[in-house]
Structure formats: C-alpha cells, structure tokens
C-alpha cells in the first residue's frame, strides 16, 4: 500500500491526474479538452502540467494538425503507478 | 489528512474520472445515430417493399460503412481525445457480423423476420459488450433495450416485427445517439 504523494495531493493536480488516469492506455487528451473539463485557465493548467511532466508523470506532445497547433497530454506508466499508490493511500486513511 | 478529507478526495477523483470518460466517449453517439438511420431505412424497406429489401440493405450497408468511415476519420481529426481503439472496434463488429451470419446459416434462418431478429440480437450483444468494455452504462442499456424490444415484437406482433424494428429499434438508436452527442456533464 503506497503513501500520499505530495505532488499529486495538490487539488488541481489531483484532478488532472484523475482525468488522465481515466483514459484508456495509449489515449491522449487535448490541452483544451482538459482545460474545459477541469474548468481551469490556460496558464493554471500549463503550470501544473509542467510540474507533472518534470516528475515524469505525464507526457506532453506538441504537434501541428494542418495549420493548427495541438498539445496532447497523456499519463505515463510512472504517473499511473504514482496515482494508483495515492488512491490506495487515500483508501487506507478511510478504512484504517 | 483526516478521514473526511480522504473521502472528499476520492469523491473528486470518481467524479472527474466519470466526467472524463463521458466526455471522451460522447462522439461514439454519432455511430449509434448512423446505425439508427440504417435500421430505419432497411427495416422499412423490409416491411413495405420486401422485393427490394435485399438491394436496399446492400445499399444501406454500403452507405453505412462509408458514413461511419468518414465520421470516424473526421472525429479522429477533431476529437479532444486521441484514441487507438478504432481498429479493434471495427474488427470486433466484423467478427460479430461473421458470427451472426454463421449462426443464421447453421440454424437455417430463412425468412426476413428470423434473419432480422438474429441481426438485431447480434447488434444488441455488440452494444452491451462495447458498453461493458468502455464502462458506458448508456450504451449497454441501449443494447439491452434493443434486445428486449426485438424479442417482445417477435412474439407479440410478428406481422409487424419489421416495421416495429424500423420505428422503435431505429428510433431508439437515433434517440440514444442524439442523447450521447448532446449530453454535457
């Protein structure tokens, strides 16, 4: 059973990780999709994604589709493990 | 962190995960909508112009494949969530269709009502399974309702089975597809 992860514990990052963890393996979410879903501003989402990327929990991929720039965000295996451990730790607090 | 805070965090996680899955799967409503239109046209032809039903279904199936392929390509380009699931889903339906054809041949289904019921039950099974795989209760319930409606119509109103499937079955799929496309979290 894991321990609470201080990086994921932050409320906004917890919601970002929950959203990304709910996607199927190999699925990527558009930056704008996450922003609208979580009701965040561009700047706020960028800052938190950068921290999660530095920790190796998310992958950020910038690409052009036609002439439109797109930013795709996905959770990494390490991010999945860290999130699962965090959820386990929350469950441990509740059931102990 | 105390127990109530942990409970609150888990509740937030559940809500976000559910909302994300719902938003990410919203576009699949287009495929259910297209399937509903195909049913409406095909089964109406079965009921009213049975002599042309074979040709109508051939045209409807070809048109459906083109419409679904085009929709899939457009949605992949526009979609907010990039998925690699299109190919497995396509092959799932091909295998299910082949299985239904094999069953029809083995059990010698030889009139349009029997063949229609078999095709509908196979499609309903497909919806239930796709709903289970993608944790979409709505798609699974659509499949169960379609199956229940088809079995009910087969036994209760066999003379109007094909029309019932056109209006009720097609209508249910169109309504279900529209609901999925339009529903917001």
**Distance (Å, rounded) from C-alpha B185 to C-alpha A24?**
19
A94 touches chain B (CB under 8 A): yes
pLDDT surpasses 50 at B185: no
User: CATH code for A6-95?
Assistant: 1.10.10.10
Q: Is residue B21 one of the residues assigned to a domain?
A: no
Query: What tens digit of pLDDT does each residue of A35-83 get?
Result: 988 999 999 999 999 999 999 999 999 888 777 788 999 999 999 999 9
Range of the domain at B136: 28-182
Query: What tens digit of pLDDT does each residue of B33-64 get?
Result: 898 999 899 989 988 888 888 888 899 989 98
A30 touches chain B (CB under 8 A): yes
**What is the per-residue DSSP string for B164-177?**
HIIIIIHHHHHHHH
A65 touches chain B (CB under 8 A): yes
Using pLDDT thresholds of 50, 70 and 90, give the confidence band for residue B78.
low
Q: Please report the pLDDT score of residue A26 as a whole number.
A: 73
Q: Is residue B9 one of the residues assigned to a domain?
A: no
Q: Please report the pLDDT score of residue B144 as a whole number.
A: 94
Q: Is residue B43 one of the residues assigned to a domain?
A: yes
The residue ranges of every structural domain in chain A are 6-95
Q: How many domains does chain B have?
A: 1
Q: Is residue B8 one of the residues assigned to a domain?
A: no
Provide the residue count of chain B.
185
Query: What tens digit of pLDDT does each residue of B111-120 get?
Result: 888 888 898 8
Q: Which DSSP letter does residue A25 get?
A: T
Contacts 24+ apart (CB under 8 A), B97-100: B97/B122
Range B72-81 average pLDDT: 71
Count each helix (H run) and each strand (E run) in chain A, helices first: 5, 3
Average pLDDT along chain B: 85
A37 touches chain B (CB under 8 A): yes
Q: Tell me how close the Cα of A17 comes to any Cα of chain B, in angstroms.
A: 9
Cα-Cα-Cα-Cα torsion B25, B87, B117, B111, nearest 10 degrees, comes to 150
Interchain pair B10, A11: CB under 8 A: no
Residue written as token pair 């239904």: B100
């Amino acid at each position: 059973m894991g321990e609470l992860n201080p990086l994921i514990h932050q409320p906004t990052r917890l919601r970002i990780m929950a959203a990304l963890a709910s996607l199927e393996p190999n699925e990527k979410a558009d930056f704008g999709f996450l922003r609208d879903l979580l009701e965040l501003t561009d700047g706020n989402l960028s800052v938190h994604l950068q921290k999660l990327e530095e920790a190796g929990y998310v992958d950020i991929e910038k690409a052009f589709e036609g002439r439109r720039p797109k930013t795709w965000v996905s959770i990494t295996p390490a991010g999945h493990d860290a999130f699962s451990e965090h959820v386990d730790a929350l469950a441990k607090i509740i059931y102990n | 962190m105390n127990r109530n805070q942990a409970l609150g965090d888990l509740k937030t996680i559940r809500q976000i995960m559910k909302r994300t899955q719902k938003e990410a799967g919203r576009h699949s409503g287009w495929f259910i909508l297209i399937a509903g239109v195909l049913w409406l046209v095909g089964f109406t032809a079965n009921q009213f112009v049975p002599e042309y039903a074979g040709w109508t279904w051939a045209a409807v199936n070809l048109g459906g494949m083109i419409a679904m392929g085009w929709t899939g390509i457009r949605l992949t380009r526009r979609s907010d969530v990039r998925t690699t699931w299109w190919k497995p889903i396509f092959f799932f339906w091909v295998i299910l269709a082949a299985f239904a054809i094999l069953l029809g041949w083995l059990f010698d289904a030889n009139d349009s009502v029997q063949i229609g019921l078999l095709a509908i039950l196979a499609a309903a099974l497909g919806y239930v399974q796709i709903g289970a795989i993608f944790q979409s209760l709505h798609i699974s319930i659509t499949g169960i309702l379609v199956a229940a409606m088809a079995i009910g119509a087969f036994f209760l109103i066999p003379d109007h089975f094909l029309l019932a499937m056109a209006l009720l079955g097609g209508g249910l799929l169109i309504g279900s597809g529209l609901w999925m496309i339009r529903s917001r979290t």
